[in-house]
Amino acid sequence: MTLFRGLSAFPLTPTDAEGHVDTEGLARFLERIQRAGADSIGLLGSTGGYAYLTREERKRAVQAAVECIGGKTPLVVGVGALRTDEAQALARDAKSAGADGLLLAPMSYVPLNEDEVFQHFVAVAEAGELPLCIYNNPSTTRFTFSDALIARLSEVSNVVAVKMPLAADDDYAGELARLRSMTPDTFTIGYSGDWGAADALLAGCDTWYSVAAGLLAVPALALTRAAQSGDAVESTRLNRAFGPLWTLFKHYGSFRVMFVIADYLGLAHVQPPRPILPLPEDAGDDIRQALEKLE
């Protein structure tokens, strides 16, 4: 079972200016990830721009992904939405299309409290009837899951994993020990924030939910396997090669950088959804130089 373990690669969702999904372009991204051997694919995550797509386009993306992947790589689908009933519908859509698991972030306009988030997750987990991962992403949702809320949700049927932000003070070992003492043995704990992945994996986390792997799955998988095996020297070397890219991710935001990478690799010439603007041309030179470090 690799659904919420190992390397989970999160591709862009290429669209036109009106938000219609380019299913052929999406297939190119997915085939690249599959050939590299990633443990799972995270469709319609933050990198996949789920918040900018209608329900119908999200459904089209999932259907196209399932057809492309053909069950060879586990598929996790993001189903976050402002309204609970909408997130429930998206979860049912994903299951009907053939997804293997769900990823849910507590999107909001009015700030949510813990009981509201708990009830939201219970409702979506029940509707989706698939293994579900908690998406703890305070940088975009402005909601931070407490340890107690994660522990409470880990007892809910179908809630089986959490995708965490980078640990405070880089204390991954401490955070993992704390969360594992509060959750079932089968509950998996992974991290996003690519520049902290090596440290998190070496500390024993279960999953790297990776932006970079959406287009650069081969070097990301090499880093994952080195860290999983406890090879600190090799994982440090590989992470150092990624260093210039991590710097650009932190400076520009990984979402924006990924569009430039897709163009540079010749996989798709697409722009981020407005109001997100493309990066200036001089950023492209820095991104190309960062990619050269990974060749």
* 50 among known catalytic residues: no
* 163 among known catalytic residues: yes
Question: pTM of the predicted model, to two decimals?
Answer: 0.96
Q: What is the pLDDT of residue 204?
A: 97
Cα 30 to Cα 21, 120, 224, distances in angstroms = 14, 30, 19
Q: What is the pLDDT of residue 1?
A: 52
What are φ and ψ of residue 35, in 5° steps?
A: -60, -35
Exposed/middle/buried for 24, CB within 10 Å: 0-12, 13-18, 19+? exposed
The token pair that represents 277 in the structure block: 């603007």
The token pair that represents 31 in the structure block: 């085939």
Say if residue 47 carries a ligand binding annotation: yes
Q: What is the pLDDT of residue 2?
A: 72
Residues 6+ apart with CB under 8 A from 38: 6, 7, 8, 9, 73, 213, 217, 220, 221
Cα(246)–Cα(84) distance, integer angstroms = 34
Per-residue pLDDT 10s for the chain (295 aa) are 579 999 999 999 999 999 999 999 999 999 999 999 999 999 999 999 999 999 999 999 999 999 999 899 999 999 999 999 999 999 999 999 999 999 999 999 999 999 999 999 999 999 999 999 999 999 999 999 999 999 999 999 999 999 999 999 999 999 999 999 999 999 999 999 999 999 999 999 999 999 999 999 999 999 999 999 999 999 999 999 999 999 999 999 999 999 999 999 999 999 999 999 999 989 999 999 999 999 7
Residue of 50, 59, 95, 135 marked catalytic: 135
Cα 140 to Cα 37, 51, 80, 95, 148, distances in angstroms = 29, 11, 12, 25, 21
Cα(179)–Cα(190) distance, integer angstroms = 11
The token pair that represents 146 in the structure block: 């407490």
Q: What is the pLDDT of residue 226?
A: 98
Q: SS3 string of the chain?
A: CCCCCEEEECCCCCECCCCCECHHHHHHHHHHHHHHCCCEEEECCCCCCHHHCCHHHHHHHHHHHHHHHCCCCCEEEECCCCCHHHHHHHHHHHHHHCCCEEEECCCCCCCCCHHHHHHHHHHHHHHHCCCEEEECCHHHHCCCCCHHHHHHHCCCCCEEEEEECCCHHHCHHHHHHHHHCCCCCCCEEEECCHHHHHHHHHCCCCEEEECHHHCCHHHHHHHHHHHHCCCHHHHHHHHHHHHHHHHHHHHHCHHHHHHHHHHHCCCCCCCCCCCCCCCCHHHHHHHHHHHHCCC
Residue of 163, 172, 191, 209 marked catalytic: 163
Beta strands 159-164 and 207-210 are: unpaired
Cα 153 to Cα 46, 88, 122, 184, 187, distances in angstroms = 22, 17, 8, 11, 10
